[in-house]
Amino acid sequence: MIFAVWIPLLMPLLAVPAARRAAEWLPPRAAAWTLAGFSVVLAGSSTAALGLLASAGALRLPPVAALAHLSPPHLGDGSPVLVPASVLAALALAAGAFALVRTRLRQRREMRAARAGSGADDELSVRPDELPYAYALPGRPDRIVVTTGMLRALDAREREVLFAHERAHLAGRHHLFLATAELAVTLHPMLRGLREPLAYALERWADESAATATGDRALTARAIGRAALAAARVPGAGSRPRTALAVTAGPVPRRVTALLTTSAAARPRRALRRALACALLVCAALSAGAVADAAHDLHAGVEVAQGETGR
């Protein structure tokens, strides 16, 4: 078991770069689901591995062994690194649990503060502010927060793009993707590399939805560019919750280029995309399989140790 548990803990070193590359070659919606789901699988597998490792060490403590009616010498896997590794695993689990709760509380606090200042219960919340910013604020009801400064920076058709973009964020529940990825990072810091490409995929998803809604990709690209230029003139304008998405977020020039480029020309061949998808599935399966194998070994060792005490 001591060897199997390391696979989920170290898998992000290989899997995160592969997932980032795959996300570049997938359609935005597929990329977002892939990155979010992959982060959940890797974070869950690594957390389960730490739990198994900590349990293996705890079962060798005399009070725990007596309570479980087992003989510690017959648990198997008597590697000299097991005890220190179990202590480190227990500390990592405690730190992860603390960070998970703290992050979730911060997310809720930021959302409550944003909603408290969003005004009336209408879909569109216009703030009298010269700073140009806009973002999608989920809740009951969902709202699009925009300032008078941003509205003045765009013409009527470009505002339609802005609203369609933010509505796509709300309809797709994109804030849940970011919140999930952020929580996954608290459980395994090596997954931090997935958050940026996930945020980009979500913005591209909303860009494509806005282009479909308006029927004009060039207009969508122009509106996004003008909104980003307006916001760039006032650095730091418009603080928003970290899981709330905005039309001006991410690498805007890259998003504009993607809108003005035919999707077929930008993507690699289907065979290559399938190969990358298979590689990610293999990484996820290895992580989950290693956890299952480690759990089986630990269970088998406990049964043997309990059998010895019953003789």
Residues 6+ apart with CB under 8 A from 268: 25
Q: Is the peptide bond before 141 cis (omega within 30 degrees of 0)?
A: yes
Q: How far apart are CA 246 and CA 244, in angstroms?
A: 7
Task: Look at residue 39 in the predicted model and tell me its pLDDT.
Answer: 93
45: confidence class by pLDDT, cuts 50, 70, 90: very high
Question: How does pLDDT run across 265-304, given as a tens digit for each residue?
Answer: 455 567 777 777 788 888 888 898 888 888 877 777 666 6
Rg (CA), the chain: 24
Residues 6+ apart with CB under 8 A from 167: 136, 144, 209, 213
Higher pLDDT, 270 or 219: 219
User: What tens digit of pLDDT does each residue of 223-257 get?
Assistant: 999 998 888 776 555 566 677 777 777 788 999 99
Distance CA 309, CA 46 (A): 32
174, 200 contact by CB (below 8 A): no
Tokens of residue 173, six digits:
């529940």
Q: How open is the CA angle 87-88-91, to the nearest 5 degrees?
A: 90
How many H-runs (helices) and E-runs (strands) does the chain carry? 12, 3
Q: Across-strand partners of 127?
A: 147
The 3-state DSSP class for residue 266 equals helix
* CB distance 32 to 177 below 8 Å: yes
Using the predicted structure, report yes or no on whether residue 76 has a pLDDT greater than 80: no
**Which of 291, 203, 283, 288 shows the shortest CA–CA distance to 18?**
283
Top pLDDT among 66 and 54 is at 54
| SS3 sequence of 192-221 | HHHHHHHHHHHHHHHHHHHHHHHCCHHHHH
d(CA 311, CA 296): 23
130, pLDDT greater than 90: no
Pick the residue with more confidence: 115 or 224? 224
3-state secondary structure of 16: helix
Q: Give the CA dihedral 285, 90, 2, 311, nearest 10 degrees.
A: -120
Helix intervals (H) in 117-251: 148-153, 156-171, 174-187, 195-214, 217-232
Query: For residue range 173-184, what is the model confidence (pLDDT) as tens digits?
Result: 999 999 999 999
The span from the CA of 44 to the CA of 221, in Å, is 38
Q: Report percent pLDDT > 90 for the chain.
A: 36
User: What is the pLDDT at residue 4?
Assistant: 80
